[in-house]
Amino acid sequence: MEQTRLKRRRVVAFTIAIVGVIAIVVLLLTQFVLAEAPITRPSAPPSVEAIRSEWQSVILLPTFLPECLSYGANGASIRSDPGARGRNALDIQLVPVKSAACNAAQGSAVTITQAPALESLDGQVLTVSEGRMQFARLAQTVSSGQTKVTLQWHCLVDVMCRISGTTGSLVTEDVLARMADSFEIIKPAS
């Protein structure tokens, strides 16, 4: 009888030790596997840097830009927008890179718009998901026959973002969604 109790105690102690080791291994693995990667904040291009002090809200830009798009030299502006809270919106233009490899992107025009609030998209709006985000999506055929896709979402609690682009072989709807999913607050002014 005494031996049976002793065996039970040993089995219980051994079981508790195994459970403890498993718990420690699981905690260590989750710390390394599930740890979030550090946020890479995009740098403001010169056109955005030039108007940073005029724009009173945070500025968000994508960390992912397709190879064939870059920020326009004079591509950032604050415009009057009656549909935006505060009546102003920030527009940032992305232009095709002029190179032989990027000729297919020459017809693409991409605009990033942000404001504390923007009017909802008007038309046949769908909800699409990309990565960690959900977007309101509007597709329209423009005069050139290309499709203009607009994605709109809350990029921060108090900031709405919109990315619009005419799609083609290099700037696709998936590329626009990937760009939108990568938006982060820009680095502080140096």
Domain ranges across the chain: 1-35, 46-185
Give the model's pLDDT for residue 29: 61
pTM for the full model? 0.75
Give the model's pLDDT for residue 12: 73
40-61 as b/e: b if 16+ CB within 10 A: eebebbebbeeeeeebeeebbb
Give the model's pLDDT for residue 99: 84
Please give the average pLDDT of every successive group of 10 residues along the chain, which has 190 residues. Answer: 74 78 69 60 90 90 90 91 88 89 78 89 82 87 84 90 87 90 86
> Any idea which residue has 């909802």 for tokens?
120
The CATH number assigned to the domain with range 46-185 reads 3.30.200.100
Give the model's pLDDT for residue 60: 94
Phi, psi of 150, deg, nearest 5: -120, 130
Give the model's pLDDT for residue 20: 75
